[in-house]
Structure 1
Amino acid sequence: MSFARTALLMAAMTALFLFFGLMLGGEAGMLIALLVAAGLNFMAYWRADKIVLSMHGAREVTKHDAPELVSIVERLSRRAGLPMPKVYIVDDAQPNAFATGRNPENAAVAATTGLLRLLSHDEVEGVMAHELAHVKNRDTLTMTITATIAGAISMLANFALFFGGNRNNPLGIIGTILMMILAPMAAMLVQMAISRTREFAADREGAEICGQPLALASALARLHQGARTTVSERAEQNPATAHMFIVNPLSGRSFDSLFSTHPRMEERIMRLEDMAERGGFTRPARGRSAGSSVPETHTSGKSRGPWG
């Protein structure tokens, strides 16, 4: 069902692209934008992973550099039936993680130093399983293509702004102005809907991969709180990548709204807890009581993670 919904949303994005391109720039404007979008898609397909990793200053690690983290990813990859992805660490105090890559054979997962300091071993497993679920479902490619189409729609709006749009537009000049405003907003809404859909799916499949829905629920609660209180400068400089992270990395956007890239955290946690009850999972996250989604309160500055 989630794949069908994602396909429908992407079809809606494409329809928006074609419609607004025709209305704003006419056939010539739509053709130019289409050619540019094709070029961007080609570049995104082959280079998106390297671009995103570079944006966030990620460094690749091996078992020699980060033995526990790499071992976790290696073990979970086997469970998921995936090739071993490259593993990266981002030097960022904000606890977060993301995955990138055009397919499972060219995938990478990244965790911030803040995440490794904050979470327990079981919680890190839950987060990495979530990211591997994105890889398995090829969500990173889906989101890259969707973002590119959304960017093309915004480009068409700018084209209309500078060149006056399609003078034969049956809606007239007022209609053109309205579409210049509404086109990027409509594209963003579809993009956010796709992102939210894939986060729920990755939570579910990630919990199945690690076998610990409660550990992932606990990790999400901790990461949500950490992202709200710790600003990530790199994320603020690159807001277009926000949807790739397991929790929203942008300051001032931790609340759920019409334009949020992520679903409500309370709902994500509730679904995982319901999954644990229905599925008979018995292995809770370390350091927390089973069935509780509220993270423990830390009274010292010491790290609770195994990488501290």
Structure 2
Amino acid sequence: MLRIGLFLLTNLAVMVLVGIIFNLFGIQGILDANGVNLNLPGLLTMCAIFGIGGSLISLLLSKTIARRTTRTQIIEQPQTADERWLVETVRELSQKAGIGMPDVGIFPMPQANAFATGWNRNSALVAVSAGLLQRFNRDEARAVIGHEIGHVANGDMITLALIQGVVNTFVMFFARLVGFFVDRVVMRNEQGLGIGYYITSIVMDIVFGFFAMMVVAWFSRRREYRADEAGAHLASPQAMIAALARIKAESEAGREEPLPANMKAFGIYGNSMAALMASHPPLEDRILALQNSAR
């Protein structure tokens, strides 16, 4: 509830800030002078409904989408020694982290990876790849599971969804504001919304969306350090460092296979051609942070 309250207060503060900016730069006066009757608070509210609403709907469907995207098989009744160990380890670490028992699954990826998702810290999904279970020793695998449970315990899924919702709101808002300017002020259209509005809005959705992804990625990278700390606490610092080092070695050997795009932020690692767009910090930085913390 505290996270939701802070989120609502943040949105209120941002809306007030937008109003101040528009008054300082006289944007409403420019619109009025060019015959543009635009209700800025109404536009912002509409964008918030669609931007935040869409993000929250995605969060509510995250477990279903994750299962289908990764072809994760939920373990209802453990059939093998690996499955029994996995379920018991998730149960033990979840109790230690103070969260409800998540659904536990395995997805058929030969590369080592894992993810956690879900709309509620007491109704989550934790899944690991078949490759991770096959090649990682028990201590390393336990640390990876601790990392994912750390995401759940820290409320990272809902936090990222709320951040994405706020970002979506302002991408839509400013894209349509620019569209109004181009349509009415530049193209001098006086009959409803013209082609200039629609084309400009689409283009600006893409442009602003690109920069918005950098903001979300920055928050995602900060979350990874906290999840690493959780893995070190729930398992051990040495095991968490060893797990990240093994993932780094496999990545350098060309054995990595990232999760699908919509799941990258929830995995144990990810990669990107551009540092500003990466959902995860470099593995060497994460290892160094844990080593410094251990000292």
1:135 CA displacement: 0.7
- Post-superposition Cα deviations, 1:105-124, rounded to whole Å, max 9, x if no partner, equal 11111111121122110001
Structure-2 separation of matches of 1:133 and 1:214: 17
Q: Which residue of 2 aligns with 1:130?
A: 147
Tell me if structure 2 keeps the 8 A contact 1:130–1:206.
yes
1:29–1:156 CA contact under 8 A, matched in 2: yes
Per-residue CA distance 1:13-51 (angstroms, 9 max, x = gap): x949x95xx88x973654432222243134234222222
SS at match of 2:119: coil
Q: Which residue of 1 aligns with 2:224?
A: 199
- Offset at residue 246 of structure 1 (A): 1.2
| Cα distance in 1 between the residues matched to 2:130 and 2:173 | 39
Aligned counterparts, 1:1-308, within 5 A: 11=10, 15=14, 27=40, 29-62=43-76, 64-65=78-79, 66-155=83-172, 167=184, 183-210=208-235, 212-227=236-251, 229-230=254-255, 232=257, 235=259, 238-248=260-270, 250=271, 253=272, 257-277=275-295
Q: Indicate if the aligned counterparts of 1:101 and 1:140 stay in contact, CA closer than 8 A.
A: yes
- Cα distance in 1 for partners of 2:168, 2:102 equals 28
2:33 maps to none
Contact 1:48–1:144, Cα closer than 8 Å, also in 2: no
Against the structure 1 CA distance between its residues 153 and 118, is the aligned structure 2 distance closer, same or farther, given a 3 Å change threshold? farther
Cα distance, 1:271–1:158 mapped onto 2, change above 3 Å: same
Corresponding residue SS for 1:67 = helix
| Structure with greater Cα Rg | 2
C-alpha distance in 1, partners of 2:115/2:281? 16
Letter in 1 for 2:250: G
| Partner amino acid, structure 2, of 1:260 | A
**Is contact 2:156–2:223 with CA below 8 Å preserved after alignment?**
yes
Residue 198 of structure 1: how far off its partner (Å): 0.9
Given the superposition, is the C-alpha separation of residues 109 and 191 from structure 1 closer, same or farther in structure 2, using an over 3 Å criterion?
same
- Larger helix proportion, structure 1 or 2? 2
Distance (whole Å) between structure 2 residues aligned to residue 256 and residue 125 of structure 1: 30
Amino acid at match of 1:120: N
Contact 1:97 1:110 in 2 (8 A): yes
- The answer on whether the counterparts of 1:159 and 1:165 sit within 8 Å (CA) in structure 2 is no
Task: Classify the secondary structure of the residue corresponding to 2:275.
Answer: coil
Compute the displacement of 1:52 (Å): 2.3
Q: 1:68 to 1:181 in 2, by over 3 A?
A: closer
Q: Deviations over 1:266-300 (max 9, x none)?
A: 111012122333xxxxxxxxxxxxxxxxxxxxxxx
TM-score w.r.t. the length of structure 1 is 0.70
The answer to whether the 8 Å contact 1:45/1:102 transfers is: yes
**Amino acid paired to 2:211:** A
Q: 1:42 to 1:184 in 2, by over 3 A?
A: closer
Aligned with 2:152: secondary structure? helix
Two-structure CA RMSD over aligned residues (Å): 3.8
| Contact 2:56/2:162 (8 A) holds in 1 | no
In structure 2, relative to structure 1, the CA distance for the partners of 1:31 and 1:91 (3 Å cut) is same
Match of 1:285 in 2: none
Equivalents in 1 of 2:102, 2:230: separation in Å?
A: 17
Gaps of 5+ in 2: 28-37, 187-195
Structure with the bigger RCO (C-alpha within 8 Å, sep 6+) is: 1
Q: Any conservation in 1 of the 2:175–2:204 contact (CA below 8 Å)? A: no
**How many residue pairs are counted as aligned between the two chains?**
258
* Unpaired runs of at least 5, structure 1: 278-308
